[in-house]
Amino acid sequence: MELWIKQRIKILGLITIILVSLQLVNTLTGGFLNHFGILPRSAQGLFGILFSPFLHRDWEHLLSNLPILLILSGLLLTYSVRYYISASTFIILFGGLLVWIFARSAIHIGASGWIFGLWMLLLANAFTRRRVLDFIYAILILLYYGGLASGLLPGDPDISTEGHIAGAVAGLCFALLTRKFTPTNKINTP
C-alpha cells in the first residue's frame, strides 16, 4: 500500500480513536465532559469551541456522526493532508465561534458542525475549483448525503441546528477564501 494511503488511514484511525476514547471517558463519568461544550456568550464556552466537536451526548450520538465524518474526511484527504487539516481547523474554530456568538443558550456538542462544514466545503469546491473530481464528489455527496440539508432546518430542540448552520457557513467560507490556493493535483502526495 502506498505511503500516502497509509498516512490518510492513520489520520482517520486517529480521529476514530480520539472520539471513541472521549466518549468512553464521558460515559464512565456520567457525561461530565459535556460541560466542556460551547456555552454561547460565556467565557467558559470559549473553551468549548476547541472541544465540542469531539464530545457527544451518548454512544448513539457518536455513532450517528462518526461514519459520515470519516467518509467526508476521507474524501477531503484526497486533496492533501495539509488542506484537510487546514479546512478542519478553520471549520471547527470559525464554526464554533459562530455558535458561541449566535446560538441559543445551551451547551452545544458533537461533530455535526464539523460534518456540515466538510460537506459544504466539498460541494463548494465543485464550483470554486472546477475540477472533474470535485464535480464527481459533489454528485456523490448530494446523492448519498443530500438528506443532510434537512439538518439545516430547526426541528428537534436537542439538536444544535445552529451548529449545523455555522459549520456549513464555515465550510463555504473556507472554500471561498482558499479557492485560488487549493492544491489541484495533490491526490498522491502526502
40-53 pLDDT per residue, tens: 999 999 999 999 99
* pLDDT of the residue at 188: 42
Give the residue from 162, 150, 151 showing the smallest Cα distance to 109. 162
Interval 114-130 mean pLDDT: 90
Q: What are the sequence ranges of the domains in the chain?
A: 3-178
Give the residue from 69, 38, 79 showing the smallest Cα distance to 184. 79
- The more confidently predicted of residues 9 and 152 is 9
Angle between helices 43-51 and 81-102 (to 10 degrees): 150
Give the residue from 110, 73, 68 showing the smallest Cα distance to 88. 73
Interval 131-146 mean pLDDT: 79
Predicted confidence band at 185 (pLDDT cuts at 50, 70, 90)? very low
Predicted confidence band at 186 (pLDDT cuts at 50, 70, 90)? very low
Q: What value does the mean pLDDT of the chain take?
A: 89
Predicted confidence (pLDDT) per residue in 37-84, tens digit = 999 999 999 999 999 999 999 999 999 999 999 999 999 999 999 999
Q: How far apart are CA 172 and CA 84, in angstroms?
A: 14
96: number of CA atoms within 13 Å, CB side?
Answer: 26
Interval 11-23 mean pLDDT: 98
* pTM score: 0.88
The verdict on domain 3-178 having CATH code 3.20.20.70 is no
